[in-house]
């Protein structure tokens, strides 16, 4: 008999298999089940159950794909346990990267870092690779050497898959095969440069953590921090993450992971579906729970989704069934062009809105961020509010990066990229002067205020002394509210905006948003860490939870829609070339991943599903000509799938009535930094 009944009446909200998982005794547990079967719900209830049984919340590690997902689950768990969210707030919840950041700061010494290391985002990491690429003269080769983004992608792939450079080149980047020696040298210097500057890139967070737990004694100590480890979306973890989890369960095998092999969509980042399939081998004695009832979608929607995934080459989870037996058949909407597609989608969104479905419970999904461009224009024209997830993130905007670079150089004055960025905003300062300023600061005990004694070129004198003055004001404010620091930096930076960029007004609004988010933080470091690791993915994230009268339509890439659900879903541009993306049709594996992406998109819908495609697509990059191509329906919508769809035209069709780590660092000496350097010395990674 499961403990529950009168003691935990909320267990009755679960089906027997879910309840089994929630009340599982210690030991490894794998929940492998299809979309919408309640995996995430089960995890949230498990957290609530553990806390109700007396587990200290701060000894639970809950790893999710985004911070938003962790917050939502903890909110759910908090509403179940009597003591509420103030208790669940103490759970270690977040992404692998944010947990890595917290642990590595506490144990910085053991991994050869200073506690105040800063984290490079993708763009910064590429810039650093580029600097070294130039130093090595690789940009001048007769045959073209891979560009910075490709170099970083290769590096990242080696690190995340724990495969040798040769293997990665041969299997994933055969056209770069001839550059193995140069790439190895480049990566060796990249690592040395990051270590000298006390910076880590995203992959390093996982790499250092995994190397830390390679030490048996460190792994034992870290494992002692947590009584329970729980992981959502396990199908999208990579080899390095699996290794970390094994290490983190040294001497304690209480771990629960949930996932769906049919929804694995991050192969391009090194995720491997083998992780979930091999979990029982990695953790002997694993209990496996499977779930087959889908609580999200209506029967007709599920039928379409089941038929799409039925064509997958390999699959572990079974077809899903649902009790939501009534509902409109999903529609396949053929439109003459994008304009018609936009009009159709907006018309349906408004119809459903009139029928009582708020905008935020409806979502338009697409394969690539730019595919919503024309829809966004039309929504704006019609005054329909929307928020977009995925694609260009707020933090990637140049002006936001400038301001963050200011904070970074104050936090870690050895962060040369941050200095480069800020210094080159000033008239009269180019890369060579910037490099001299950086050396000057290094020669003055890395005190950023020392720039006051640097003699800039005459053309830069005025701006330079204003910069020095700003830094002198802000540098001593490390522990004060970062919003106050941003305010002072803006007094210097805002007047530069019109000189450096177009649209200064819009950009200023972003900076005001940044200042507002910063006001929620006690220290600059915490603020920076959150920004780098869990960047807000849209302005909606910045605004927090919408109030009752706020409402907006959701626009999202399929990748960013993972784990979410909406009453009405519109999957647009369901044409070959977009779905699958023509960038991902090189190998059978890539096509399989695109199929799973389609499955993810379809299974987000609860009651209404529209799949639309324009027959003609105008290529904007040929503008102003009217060059267009005729498209074909997505290959995933086979005859078998079409039988489950109601086919309609986008025009003239009148749709029927829709039915900071507090733990003390342990005393273990490891030279993880040396291990990272050695990786590029020998031939096995």
For ligand ATP, which stretch binds (CB under 6 A), given 32-40, 275-283, 610-618, 646-654?
Answer: 32-40
- Minimum CB–partner distance for residue 370 and ligand ATP (Å): 25
For ligand ATP, which stretch binds (CB under 6 A), given 3-11, 35-43, 88-96, 469-477?
Answer: 35-43
Radius of gyration of the chain (CA): 26
Size of the site for ligand ATP (CB under 6 A): 16
296 interface partner picked from Mg ion, ligand ATP, none, CB below 5 to 8 A per type: ligand ATP
Nearest to 330 by CA among 356, 292, 307, 298: 298
Quick check: 667 and 108 in contact, CB under 8 A?
Answer: no
- Minimum CB–partner distance for residue 289 and ligand ATP (Å): 12
Q: Which residue has the tokens 């079409």?
A: 642
Quick check: 675 and 162 in contact, CB under 8 A?
Answer: no
The residue among 390 and 563 lying less far from Mg ion, judged by its C-beta, is 563
- Minimum CB–partner distance for residue 446 and ligand ATP (Å): 46
37 interface partner picked from Mg ion, ligand ATP, none, CB below 5 to 8 A per type: ligand ATP
- Minimum CB–partner distance for residue 295 and ligand ATP (Å): 3
Nearest to 61 by CA among 223, 219, 206: 223
For ligand ATP, which stretch binds (CB under 6 A), given 33-41, 318-326, 414-422, 486-494?
Answer: 33-41
Contact between 36 and ligand ATP per CB under 6 A: yes
Collapsing DSSP to helix, strand or coil, 86 comes out as helix
Phi-psi region of 72 (alpha: psi -120 to 50; beta: other; left: phi over 0): alpha
Helix and strand element counts for the chain (H, E): 29, 18
Compute the distance between CA of residue 302 and CA of residue 318 in angstroms, rounded to an integer: 12
Q: Which of 18, 160, 215, 237 binds ligand ATP (CB under 6 A)?
A: 18
Contact between 122 and ligand ATP per CB under 6 A: no
Bond before 542 cis per omega within 30 degrees: no
Q: Could you say which residues in the range 220-279 bind ligand ATP, by CB under 6 A?
A: 260, 263
Compute the distance between CA of residue 493 and CA of residue 426 in angstroms, rounded to an integer: 10
517 interface partner picked from ligand ATP, Mg ion, none, CB below 5 to 8 A per type: none
Q: Which residue has the tokens 């490891």?
A: 670
Residues in the chain: 685
Contact between 290 and ligand ATP per CB under 6 A: no
DSSP state of 337: E
Q: Which of 40, 156, 215, 372 binds ligand ATP (CB under 6 A)?
A: 40
Residue 575's φ and ψ, nearest 5 degrees, are: -115, 150
157 interface partner picked from Mg ion, ligand ATP, none, CB below 5 to 8 A per type: none
Q: Which of 15, 481, 508, 523 binds ligand ATP (CB under 6 A)?
A: 15
- Minimum CB–partner distance for residue 62 and Mg ion (Å): 13
Size of the site for Mg ion (CB under 5 A): 3
For Mg ion, which stretch binds (CB under 5 A), given 33-41, 181-189, 320-328, 672-680?
Answer: 33-41
Q: Could you say which residues in the range 562-601 bind Mg ion, by CB under 5 A?
A: 563
For 643, other C-beta atoms within 10 Å of its C-beta total 10
Q: Which of 37, 238, 328, 598 binds ligand ATP (CB under 6 A)?
A: 37
The residue among 260 and 515 lying less far from ligand ATP, judged by its C-beta, is 260
DSSP-H helix ranges across 579-679: 588-602, 639-642, 672-678
Quick check: 264 and 235 in contact, CB under 8 A?
Answer: yes
Quick check: 598 and 609 in contact, CB under 8 A?
Answer: no
Compute the distance between CA of residue 422 and CA of residue 404 in angstroms, rounded to an integer: 10
Binding mask 556-575 for ligand ATP (x = CB under 6 A): -------x-x----------
Q: Which of 21, 29, 41, 248 binds ligand ATP (CB under 6 A)?
A: 41
- Minimum CB–partner distance for residue 603 and ligand ATP (Å): 6
Q: Which two tokens stand for residue 367?
A: 């394969």
Q: Which of 11, 14, 128, 569 binds ligand ATP (CB under 6 A)?
A: 14
Q: What is the β-pairing status of strands 29-33 and 60-63?
A: unpaired
391 interface partner picked from Mg ion, ligand ATP, none, CB below 5 to 8 A per type: none
Nearest to 345 by CA among 330, 335, 356: 335
Contact between 40 and Mg ion per CB under 5 A: yes
18 interface partner picked from ligand ATP, Mg ion, none, CB below 5 to 8 A per type: ligand ATP
For 461, other C-beta atoms within 10 Å of its C-beta total 13
For Mg ion, which stretch binds (CB under 5 A), given 151-159, 291-299, 555-563, 642-650?
Answer: 555-563
The residue among 33 and 441 lying less far from ligand ATP, judged by its C-beta, is 33
- Minimum CB–partner distance for residue 38 and Mg ion (Å): 8
- Minimum CB–partner distance for residue 600 and Mg ion (Å): 11
Backbone CA torsion sign across 522, 525, 527, 529:
negative
Residue 173's φ and ψ, nearest 5 degrees, are: -130, 55
Compute the distance between CA of residue 589 and CA of residue 560 in angstroms, rounded to an integer: 21
Q: Is 669 exposed, middle or buried (0-12, 13-18, 19+ CB in 10 A)?
A: exposed
Angle at 407 between CA 402 and CA 411, to 5 degrees: 140
Residues 6+ apart with CB under 8 A from 4: 11, 12, 19, 23
Contact between 35 and ligand ATP per CB under 6 A: yes
Contact between 413 and ligand ATP per CB under 6 A: no
User: Cα separations (Å) of 596 from 38, 241, 283, 369, 605?
Assistant: 19, 22, 27, 18, 15
Position with the least CB separation from ligand ATP: 38
Q: Which of 39, 107, 189, 228 binds ligand ATP (CB under 6 A)?
A: 39
The residue among 127 and 292 lying less far from ligand ATP, judged by its C-beta, is 292
- Minimum CB–partner distance for residue 233 and ligand ATP (Å): 7
Compute the distance between CA of residue 573 and CA of residue 560 in angstroms, rounded to an integer: 17
The residue among 61 and 108 lying less far from Mg ion, judged by its C-beta, is 61
Compute the distance between CA of residue 470 and CA of residue 138 in angstroms, rounded to an integer: 38
295 interface partner picked from ligand ATP, Mg ion, none, CB below 5 to 8 A per type: ligand ATP
Position with the least CB separation from Mg ion: 40
- Minimum CB–partner distance for residue 92 and ligand ATP (Å): 20
The residue ranges that bind Mg ion (CB under 5 A) are 39-40, 563
The residue ranges that bind ligand ATP (CB under 6 A) are 14-15, 18, 35-41, 260, 263, 295-296, 563, 565
């Amino acid at each position: 008999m499961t403990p529950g009944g009168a003691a935990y009446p909320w267990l009755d909200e679960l089906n027997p298999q879910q309840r089994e998982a929630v009340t599982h005794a210690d030991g490894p547990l794998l929940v492998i089940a299809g979309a919408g079967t309640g995996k995430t719900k089960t995890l949230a209830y498990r957290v609530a159950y553990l806390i109700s049984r007396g587990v200290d919340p701060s000894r639970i590690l809950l790893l999710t794909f985004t911070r938003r997902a962790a917050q939502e689950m903890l909110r759910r768990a908090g509403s179940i346990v009597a003591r509420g969210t103030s208790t669940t707030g103490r759970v270690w919840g977040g992404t692998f990267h944010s947990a890595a950041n917290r642990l590595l700061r506490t144990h910085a010494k053991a991994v050869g870092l200073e506690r105040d290391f800063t984290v490079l985002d993708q763009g910064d990491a590429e810039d650093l690779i580029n600097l070294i690429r130039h130093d090595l003269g690789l940009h001048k080769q007769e045959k073209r050497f891979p560009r910075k983004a490709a170099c970083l992608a290769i590096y990242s792939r080696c690190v995340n898959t724990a495969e040798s450079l040769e293997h990665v080149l041969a299997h994933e980047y055969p056209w770069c095969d001839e550059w193995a020696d140069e790439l190895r040298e480049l990566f060796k210097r990249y690592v040395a440069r990051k270590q000298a500057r006390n910076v880590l890139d995203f992959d390093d967070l996982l790499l250092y953590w995994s190397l830390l737990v390679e030490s048996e004694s460190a792994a034992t100590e870290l494992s002692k921090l947590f009584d329970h480890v729980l992981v959502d979306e396990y199908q999208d973890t990579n080899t390095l993450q699996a290794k970390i989890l094994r290490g983190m369960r040294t001497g304690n095998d209480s771990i629960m992971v949930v996932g769906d092999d049919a929804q694995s969509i991050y192969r391009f980042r090194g995720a491997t579906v083998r992780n979930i399939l091999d979990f029982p081998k990695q953790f002997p004695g694993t209990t496996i729970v499977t779930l087959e009832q889908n609580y999200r979608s209506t029967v007709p929607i599920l039928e379409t989704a089941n038929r799409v995934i039925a064509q997958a080459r390999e699959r572990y989870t079974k077809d899903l069934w649902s009790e939501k037996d009534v509902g409109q058949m999903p529609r396949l909407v053929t439109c003459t062009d994008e304009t018609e597609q936009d009009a159709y989608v907006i018309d349906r969104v408004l119809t459903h809105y009139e029928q009582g479905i708020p905008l935020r419970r409806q979502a338009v999904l697409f394969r690539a961020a730019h595919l919503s461009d024309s829809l966004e224009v039309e929504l704006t024209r019609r005054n329909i509010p929307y928020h977009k997830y995925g694609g260009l993130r707020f933090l990637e905007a140049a002006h936001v990066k400038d301001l963050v670079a200011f904070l970074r150089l104050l936090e870690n004055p050895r962060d040369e990229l941050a200095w480069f960025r800020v210094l080159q905003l000033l008239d009269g300062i180019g890369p060579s002067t910037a490099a001299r300023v950086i050396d000057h600061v290094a020669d003055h005990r890395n005190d950023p205020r020392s720039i006051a004694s640097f003699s800039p070129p005459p053309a830069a004198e005025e701006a330079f002394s204003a910069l020095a003055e700003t830094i002198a004001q802000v540098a001593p404010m490390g522990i004060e509210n970062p919003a106050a620091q941003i305010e002072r930096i803006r007094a210097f930076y805002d007047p530069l905006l019109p000189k450096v960029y177009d649209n200064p007004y819009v950009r200023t609004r972003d900076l005001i948003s940044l200042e507002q988010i910063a006001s929620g933080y006690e220290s600059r470091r915490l603020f920076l860490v959150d920004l780098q690791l869990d960047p807000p993915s849209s302005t909606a994230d910045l605004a927090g939870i919408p109030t009752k009268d706020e409402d907006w339509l959701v626009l999202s890439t399929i990748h960013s829609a993972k784990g979410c659900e909406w009453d009405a879903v519109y999957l647009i541009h369901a044409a070959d070339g977009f779905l699958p993306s023509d960038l991902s049709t090189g190998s059978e594996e890539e096509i399989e991943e695109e199929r799973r992406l389609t499955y993810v998109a379809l299974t987000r819908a609860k009651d209404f599903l529209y799949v639309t495609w324009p027959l003609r697509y105008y290529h904007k990059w040929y503008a102003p000509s009217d060059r267009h191509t005729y498209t074909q329906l997505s290959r995933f919508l086979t005859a078998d799938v079409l039988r489950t769809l109601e086919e309609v035209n986008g025009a003239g069709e009148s749709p029927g009535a829709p039915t900071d780590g507090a733990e003390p660092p342990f005393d273990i000496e490891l030279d993880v930094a040396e291990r990272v350097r050695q990786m590029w010395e020998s031939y096995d990674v």
